[in-house]
Structure 1
Amino acid sequence: MSNKQEEPKYLLANVGAEVDRLTKQHAWLQKCLDGQIVFGPVDLGKPDLRVLDVGCADGILLRDLRKGVAPSAELVGLDVTPSFLPPNDPGPPAIRYAVHDICDPVPANMANTFDFTHVRFVMAGASKSGIAEAVRNLVGSVAPGGWLQIQEMDLSPNTPGCTPALEDMKSVLRSLFEKTGADPLFAKNLAKMLEDAGLQNVAVKKVKYWVGKGMGENQADVEASIASVKLTIPAILGGAASTFALFRFLVNHFE
């Protein structure tokens, strides 16, 4: 597939700044996850391992993952935004990229072939097809015996232990998702969607992403978590066409 396609409308504002934001977000999330990327029983040492990252942006997760896989593994990144994608990387292992929308079935040459398909914070962009259909499309990429891992945010209001600033941020995100036609609480229904799409051994793992002092004693980690969220807030507000005053309120509460 050619990457020279018309640039789609991105859910968040300022596409040009997104790669930097997503890179910082990835570093923060991986710190919270102790560097773990794969949570299912995937044999990362398998010589012919095939991995697909959907919504890969500039491939930062695949570049991290390839440090722990065999040189002969095949890594593929898909994203709906052509300008995010870097040139193919010869590796080893090689990483190749292509433009693809999760609202569409994966190309025929990718159907039922991947040992591990990874998706992070992408499903809310599936308003064109609906999230359930996008889940079925993702399931269609997985080889028999393979694993699909979808990571999404629980935006439920009044979460125990959640700070007022984070509650406000979740409220804005819920409004943004509603604006696109997505159920803002869709993450709670993903397990059933996966089962309805034919997957077995579906499990839900809840992970806390700490912001600020919750990151521990390392001041660099504390600052990195806050910086990542502060970059996300204007992107969210730009996508939601919200006010500058609310942006200042949220930023001040994270400082």
Structure 2
Amino acid sequence: MQEEQRLENQHQLLRYLFDDRLFFPPVKCPRRILECGYGRGHWALDMALNYPHSEVTAIDLYPTPELPDDQPDNLECEVWDLNEALVPSYKPNTYDLVHSRFVAPGIKKHRWPGYVRDICRLLRPGGWVQMVEFYYIIQSDSGLLTDDHALTHWSNGYRYSMDGDRDPRAGRNLGQLMRNAGLADIEEVTYRLPIGGWSTDPKMRYVGELNMENFGAMLDSLATWPFIERMKWSKEQVAALTCKAREEAQDSRLKLYMPLTVAWGRRRC
């Protein structure tokens, strides 16, 4: 339940950060839409409701346990492992818009080039893809975050435990992956997503306040499995680290943030 609430809060946070835009590419009336890694289904549901004449397909390895009773008829949710080829199970040259968000913890490192090429093939000529990923390294705008902080131990531990077959830095590479796949008109925007209300910009201060709860829950959500299974920590060790990291995150002097990249590109006609 905690993870479900975190994903809902995260979706609402992004809606506010993006000025209520569900996507950035210049797509006026998308008819066929695919979301890769839909989580709780918030983005796909919003798209289906906002574009009632569209057909929205959402895929994820671990489907949401339930969607609203009034789930729109133009939304289909399906089980799929994104580490497996999307083509031919999903038809090439079909989609006006493909959306991929926060799949880095699940996508294998060697799979990324093929994953983006698959998306390119699924797009109709002139269709667009939008990808959103964190760079999972906690950083400090004030420079006061040190190697002794639990937040730094969390970042280093997460990167170490995932680096073997996952890429915590995937958010930095989205544009290059799109270029390598042959997409055109690529644009990237990187936000310093604040953790806490330390920003002097009113909008980002509010985003940071919203993000504090999401960030605290994310520390547990992302670290529990890799720290226990790959670093052989006990549950108590993980809980102690994440508890200390959450306490440190309350210190506004640290001016904490995580980079968040949004990238989009168009399939050539």
Aligned counterpart, 1:52 = 34
**CA 160–168 in structure 1, closer or farther in 2 if over 3 Å, else same:** farther
Aligned counterpart, 1:227 = 213
Report SS of the residue matched to 2:35. strand
> What TM-score, normalized to structure 2?
0.74
Gaps of 5+ in 1: 1-15
Report SS of the residue matched to 2:222. helix
1:155, 1:184 within 8 Å by CA — same for their partners in 2? yes
Aligned-pair identity in percent equals 23
C-alpha distance in 2 between matches for 1:176 and 1:31: 32
Aligned counterpart, 1:211 = 195
**CA 254–195 in structure 1, closer or farther in 2 if over 3 Å, else same:** same
Aligned counterpart, 2:168 = 184
Q: Deviations over 1:114-141 (max 9, x none)?
A: 1111111103412185221222222222
Alignment of 1:64-79 (within 5 A): 64-69=46-51, 71-79=52-60
1:28, 1:224 within 8 Å by CA — same for their partners in 2? yes
Equivalent position amino acid for 1:210 in 2? P
> What TM-score, normalized to structure 1?
0.78
The answer to whether the aligner puts 1:127 opposite 2:122 as a matched pair is no
Alignment of 1:146-185 (within 5 A): 146-155=127-136, 160-161=141-142, 164=145, 167-179=152-164, 181-185=165-169
Report SS of the residue matched to 1:51. strand
Equivalent position amino acid for 2:221 in 1? A
1:105, 1:138 within 8 Å by CA — same for their partners in 2? no
The answer to whether the aligner puts 1:137 opposite 2:122 as a matched pair is no
C-alpha distance in 2 between matches for 1:101 and 1:161: 40
Equivalent position amino acid for 1:91 in 2? P
Cα drift, residue 52 of structure 1: 1.0
C-alpha distance in 2 between matches for 1:25 and 1:158: 19
Cα drift, residue 198 of structure 1: 1.9
CA RMSD of aligned residues (A): 3.0
1:131, 1:182 within 8 Å by CA — same for their partners in 2? no
Q: Deviations over 1:147-203 (max 9, x none)?
A: 111111124675645773765554343234214x12332332322221221211222
The answer to whether the aligner puts 1:246 opposite 2:231 as a matched pair is no
C-alpha distance in 2 between matches for 1:196 and 1:36: 27
**CA 22–117 in structure 1, closer or farther in 2 if over 3 Å, else same:** same
C-alpha distance in 2 between matches for 1:156 and 1:54: 23
Higher strand share: 2
Gaps of 5+ in 2: 251-269
Equivalent position amino acid for 1:24 in 2? N
1:62, 1:77 within 8 Å by CA — same for their partners in 2? yes
Question: Of 92, 101, 118, which aligns to 1:111?
Answer: 92
